[in-house]
Chain A
Amino acid sequence: MRQTIQPNDYAGLTRPEQFLLHDESAVEYTARLGELMADLGPVTYLERRQVELIAQADVDIDRQRRIIAECLHPSAAESQAQRAATDWGKAHLAAHRSTASKAEDRSPATPQGNPGATPAIAKAYTRQRLGLEVHYKALADAEKRRRSAIEFLYAMQDRRARKQVPDAEIIE
């Protein structure tokens, strides 16, 4: 297995800025692609492109999981409309006392396993069911793309390896 990355490994591949979002790092993507290149050992351009598709699918899987987690953050249980309606209702009942509506800050901290957050998460899920369905579908699709890209790469490498085996000669 090849352990070093050659400079021409990235020639002809897609520039990361064409498909990364602003919360994704081109440096991390390149490092991940480099690890895959080292592990899978592509030799031809088409094999390298196949490894690139695997890396893109990896990024997409992470992205969909991140978006789903963000959608299901307890602070997403209420939409802006619900907050506005609730605030207005409270202010109206308290003789037009004004309370500014503010969304709860979303902390990027690691989840602490708070069981008390479950109702808010369930509410967030119900509220964003339509959008979440699309993201779950996109996640399943990215996983499928990744599997099929790996299978295709192995088939190509297998084909290349078979070509290097000389034909048997029949000796009378």
Chain B
Amino acid sequence: MSARAGSARNAVRHGVLSEPDLVRVRELLGHILGDTQGGGALTDSPDALTAQKLAALALADSEARLDAAYAHYVACQPEGVDPDMAKCVNMLEDFLHMDDMLDEDKREAIRRIFKVERFDARARASRQRLALRYLKEARATRDRALAAFLAYGEKVEGNAI
């Protein structure tokens, strides 16, 4: 498995690239089309949907994906050390206060504390960078969908007021 495919699967599992919640998409579609009952367009068969409704559906879908990407991006922001890493560092630090440990072992514990910290900082930066990339992609897709919908939107915008 390539690293790229692996990370894409991670993103699906964590909800960033998974299919958006259908209820939320219907709700958004209702607001976009000015139909507050929500998602009337989805009851039509796909063949019967007009280009305008399809554009609205694509926009609702991309809005829901943008919300998920933003929520994931925010969840990656906190700077705190990963709890497992913090536990590991604390255990290693405890060795330093034990009287029956050899100095050489204590030096090795210090080296490992530094390693764990570096690993954690890199992992966190990598997660944050990836989340930012997903957010940018979701935003770009949503802006394209909005532009496409507005191209059909002359009549719909009036109804949505």
> 0/1 per residue, A134-170, Cβ < 8 Å to B?
1101100100010010001000100110010000000
Do B31 and A56 touch (CB < 8 A)? no
Q: Specify which of A44, A81, A101 is in contact with B117 (CB 8 Å cutoff).
A: A81
Please indicate the chain B residues that have their CB under 8 angstroms from the CB of A130 in the complex: 121-122, 125
Interface size class of A (residues with CB under 8 A): 35 or more
Nearest CB of chain B from residue A169's CB, rounded to whole Å: 20
Residue A67 is within 8 A (CB to CB) of chain B in the complex: yes
Complex interface bits, B58-81 against A, C-beta within 8 A gives 1, otherwise 0: 000001000100110010011101
* Docked pose: A145 CA to B73 CA in angstroms: 14
| B-side contacts of A134, CB under 8 Å | 125, 128-129, 132
Closest chain A CB from B59 CB (angstroms):
8
Interface residues of B in 14-64 (CB under 8 A from A): 27-28, 30-32, 34, 36, 63
Residues 143-161 of B, flagged 1 when their CB comes within 8 A of A and 0 if not, give: 1001001100010011011
Q: Which residue of A lies closest to B127 (CB)?
A: A134
Residue of B nearest to A82 (CB): B114
Q: A84 to chain B: which residues have CB within 8 Å? A: 92-93, 96, 110, 113
Count of inter-chain pairs, beta carbons less than 8 A: 100
Q: Which of A11, A46, A56, A81 contacts B110 (CB 8 A)?
A: A81
* Residues 95-126 of chain B, each 1 if its beta carbon lies under 8 Å from chain A, else 0: 01101000100100010011011000110110
Which residues of B have CB within 8 Å of A98? Answer: 97
Our pick among B74, B106, B158 for the contact of A19 (Cβ within 8 Å) is: B74
Q: Is the interface of A mostly helix, strand, loop or mixed?
A: helix
Q: B93's closest neighbor in chain A, by CB?
A: A84
A163 pairs with B32, CB closer than 8 A: no
Contact with B along A85-113 (1 / 0, CB 8 A): 10110001000101001000000000000
Chain A nearest Cβ from B37, distance in angstroms: 13
Residues on B with beta carbons closer than 8 Å to the beta carbon of A30: none
Separation in Å of the A132 CB from the closest CB of chain B? 9
Shortest distance between the CB of B107 and any CB in chain A (Å)? 9
21 intermolecular pairs with C-beta atoms under 8 Å apart: A12-B28, A14-B70, A18-B70, A20-B74, A21-B74, A21-B77, A43-B161, A44-B157, A44-B160, A45-B160, A46-B149, A49-B63, A80-B117, A81-B113, A81-B114, A81-B117, A85-B110, A87-B96, A88-B96, A96-B99, A137-B129
* Nearest 4 Cβ contacts at the A-B interface: A12-B31, A81-B113, A45-B31, A88-B96
Q: A18-B70, A92-B103 are in contact. List 16 more A-B contacts (CB 8 A).
A: A12-B31, A19-B70, A19-B71, A19-B74, A44-B161, A45-B31, A70-B79, A81-B89, A81-B113, A85-B110, A131-B121, A134-B129, A137-B132, A148-B143, A152-B143, A152-B146
